[in-house]
Amino acid sequence: MARVAIVTGGTRGIGEAISLALKAKGITVAANYAGNDERARAFTERTGIPAYKWDVADHDACLAGVKAVEAELGPIDILVNNAGITRDGTLLKMDWQAWKEVIDTNLGGCFNMAKATFPGMRERGWGRIVNIGSINGQAGQYGQVNYAAAKSGIHGFTKALAQEGAKFGVTVNAIAPGYIDTDMVAAVPQDVLAKIVAKVPVGRLGHAEEIARGVTFLTGEEAGFVTGSTLSINGGQHMY
């Protein structure tokens, strides 16, 4: 019987690449999305992967969304917490709403989705959770105190939950991508992006498929001894 996975933010960018990579491994995938119905429909038509709409920042919506997926596809074995937003600005210009929205979605979403799926994984004695952090959660980034704080929090969340799941066959890991050629990065002004690329030792942006390959490894049967780990995929931009 095929494993069942939920990928949050799974219909575009890195999330889409993850959804496709897991499907290619024979996993039954449900792609969560928050807002763009037209894009989600196009994604499903193109890939055959069903898309389910709910806001990961909404705790009750996550519980209901997971129940709906399980009713249609079966118990959730794999969770990829990929959904994320940006509301950039320096602290002096950032308002409370911009802080709260990013924390609630990027970090709160990990908690909400884990609450909805981790107990079942624990009871069944097998599970894989992969949380998508960021190089900016490791190194910080000017104008992103909200995003950097949320992503840094993901790395701590990962290590703590890994300790809770280890003896029950549930691994919890994180991936910290560097700058990847997605729509989010495409929105960065060209002159700024050129400066970023200049700081990447391999000399280019990463590809979403490279992050997806990391996820397929960490969610596989062969990765049972890897837990509480953060895999940095950043072209050597941040090493520690």
Tokens encoding 159: 């290590």
For residue 92, how many C-alpha atoms fall within 13 Å in the half-sphere facing its CB?
1
Question: Where do the H-state alpha helices sit in 125-236?
Answer: 135-139, 145-165, 183-186, 190-198, 208-218
Prediction pTM value:
0.95
Cα–Cα distance list, 163 to 108, 116, 173, 200 (Å): 19, 18, 11, 33
Name residue, tokens 């970023």: 196
Q: Which residue has the higher pLDDT, 196 or 62?
A: 62
Q: Where are the domains of the chain?
A: 4-233
Mean pLDDT, residues 138-157:
95
Known catalytic membership, residue 147: yes
| Number of neighbours of residue 113 by Cβ within 10 angstroms | 27
pLDDT at 47 over 80: yes
| Cβ-based neighbour number of residue 99 at 10 Å | 18
Q: Please give the CATH topology (third level) of the domain spanning 4-233.
A: Rossmann fold (3.40.50)
Which residue blocks in 48-93 are alpha helix, DSSP H?
A: 59-73
Structure tokens at 207: 């590809």
How far are the Cα atoms of 54, 150, 200, 203 from residue 155, in angstroms, in the given order?
24, 9, 22, 26
- Please tell me the total number of residues recorded for the chain in this structure: 240
Interval 72-129: pLDDT, tens:
999 999 999 999 999 999 999 999 999 999 999 999 999 999 999 999 999 999 999 9
Which residue in the list 52, 147, 179, 240 is annotated as catalytic? Answer: 147
Q: Distance between CA 150 and CA 87 in Å, rounded?
A: 12
